[in-house]
Amino acid sequence: EKSKLEKFRHLPAATADGVRFELVANIGSVHDSELAAEGGAEGVGLFRTEFMYMNASRMPSEEQQFEVYRDIAAKWGERPVIIRTLDIGGDKALPYLALPEEENPFLGYRAIRIGLNQPDVLKTQLRAILRASAYGTLKIMFPMISSMEEWRQAKSYVQEAALELEAEGVKVDRSLQVGIMAEIPSVIQMADLFAKEVDFFSIGTNDLVQYTLAVDRMNEKVAYLYDYFHPAVLRAIHTLIQAAHAEGKWVGMCGGMAGDPLAAPLLVGLGLDEWSMETAALNRVKSVIAKLNREECEQLARQLLNEATAQDIRSKVELFVSGK
């Protein structure tokens, strides 16, 4: 089984009828980046930079961050690396950053909310990324965007940092794309408006499911309700992809759903452009995509968008895949 999958390692992801998809990796460190390159990823769809902060005993300096981003950018060359700005709070803490005790930390002071509240932290990270952008193909992604104001404010810091660096004589990649995580339902509801302003979206199903279904992603007691095959989640993905494509923008997915082979027919059918997952999942997802035909998947997706329960969706996808 393992050796059968192994042959997919150096193959690009393509359906039986020759439609190509970009399969990239989630990483949290330079070490993960090495493993992802060996494992056949075509780039990095999510660099969770919070682990770099969590493993440090004080706030990483611009220089320290720059060196990490530069090495990773250079390693991947023309292949894209999406760096997500610090996503701390929720279940993740920093020993040197005092965060308030909160009753609902996942609805509280988290991710971009911290970045916008403490712009020195965000700006330091953006300067490091922009400096590294000259060494490869970097993209910037903001986590937990819930409103247009947050997006515009965050984006303005990118512009500000780029201008500062250029004034200092530092080379910056001005074609660098800036996008957002789609992981809060308000972004889905306003997808048409966001699509006009962002360069791309990446769907974070881990949080999108949590916030769409009001199910704590860490709580075992309600884990049975946590399901990315829920019709509301499927419809959210569909809405977002349609709105993005209408504006010529691309959509990725970096939540756990992207690495689930059973989700592959649906995601092909819904038109997802980029799939980012743990390196270990790449071969298996490629092996499923290789059996698929795009038109059949589109037909399947259209049908399943009318189903009323996660159970029905799941069993129909299972049936579809078992016929392959």
Question: Minimal distance in Å, beta carbon 259 to ligand PEP?
Answer: 11
Question: Minimal distance in Å, beta carbon 170 to ligand PEP?
Answer: 30
Question: Minimal distance in Å, beta carbon 142 to ligand PEP?
Answer: 12
Residue written as token pair 């399943």: 304
Question: Residues 43, 179, 204, 265: which binds ligand PEP (CB under 6 A)?
Answer: 204
Interaction residues for Mg ion, span 185-224 (CB under 5 A): 204, 207
207 lies in the site for ligand PEP, by CB under 6 A: yes
Q: What is the C-alpha to C-alpha distance for residues 262 and 315, in angstroms, rounded to an integer?
A: 10
Q: What is the C-alpha to C-alpha distance for residues 92 and 87, in angstroms, rounded to an integer?
A: 8
Tokens at residue 24, please?
């990239």
- How many residues at the interface with ligand PEP, by CB under 6 A? 10
- Name which of Mg ion, ligand PEP, none residue 279 binds, using a CB cut-off of 5 to 8 Å depending on partner kind: none
Q: What is the C-alpha to C-alpha distance for residues 86 and 111, in angstroms, rounded to an integer?
A: 6
- Name which of Mg ion, ligand PEP, none residue 155 binds, using a CB cut-off of 5 to 8 Å depending on partner kind: none
Question: Minimal distance in Å, beta carbon 105 to ligand PEP?
Answer: 12
Instruction: Tell me the sheet residues that pair with 25.
Output: 44, 277
From 21-29, 163-171, 177-185, 264-272, span contacting Mg ion (CB under 5 A): 177-185
- Name which of ligand PEP, Mg ion, none residue 230 binds, using a CB cut-off of 5 to 8 Å depending on partner kind: none
Burial 190-206 (b: 16+ CB within 10 A, else e): ebeebbeebbbbbbbbe
Tokens at residue 306, please?
């009318």
Question: Minimal distance in Å, beta carbon 207 to Mg ion?
Answer: 4
Instruction: Tell me the sheet residues that pair with 138.
Output: 81
Q: What is the C-alpha to C-alpha distance for residues 190 and 241, in angstroms, rounded to an integer?
A: 12
Q: What is the C-alpha to C-alpha distance for residues 21 and 270, in angstroms, rounded to an integer?
A: 13
Q: Amino acid letter at 110? A: R
- Name which of Mg ion, ligand PEP, none residue 153 binds, using a CB cut-off of 5 to 8 Å depending on partner kind: none
- Name which of Mg ion, ligand PEP, none residue 48 binds, using a CB cut-off of 5 to 8 Å depending on partner kind: ligand PEP
From 98-106, 127-135, 199-207, 313-321, span contacting ligand PEP (CB under 6 A): 199-207
Question: Minimal distance in Å, beta carbon 174 to ligand PEP?
Answer: 27
DSSP annotation string for 13-76: EE-TT--EEEEEEEESSHHHHHHHHHTT-SSEEEEETHHHHHTSSSPPPHHHHHHHHHHHHHHH
Question: Residues 64, 177, 206, 287: which binds ligand PEP (CB under 6 A)?
Answer: 206
> Among residues 70 and 84, whose Cβ is nearest to Mg ion?
84
- How many residues at the interface with Mg ion, by CB under 5 A? 3
Question: Residues 22, 183, 227, 274: which binds ligand PEP (CB under 6 A)?
Answer: 183
Element (H, E) at 297: helix 294-304
Tokens at residue 109, please?
């002071």
Question: Residues 22, 42, 87, 273: which binds ligand PEP (CB under 6 A)?
Answer: 87
Question: Residues 80, 179, 255, 265: which binds ligand PEP (CB under 6 A)?
Answer: 255
From 157, 174, 202, select the one nearest 46 (Cα to Cα): 202
Question: Residues 15, 33, 48, 94: which binds ligand PEP (CB under 6 A)?
Answer: 48
Q: Amino acid letter at 43? A: G
Interface with ligand PEP by CB under 6 A: which residues? Answer: 46, 48, 87, 183, 204-207, 254-255
Interface with Mg ion by CB under 5 A: which residues? Answer: 183, 204, 207
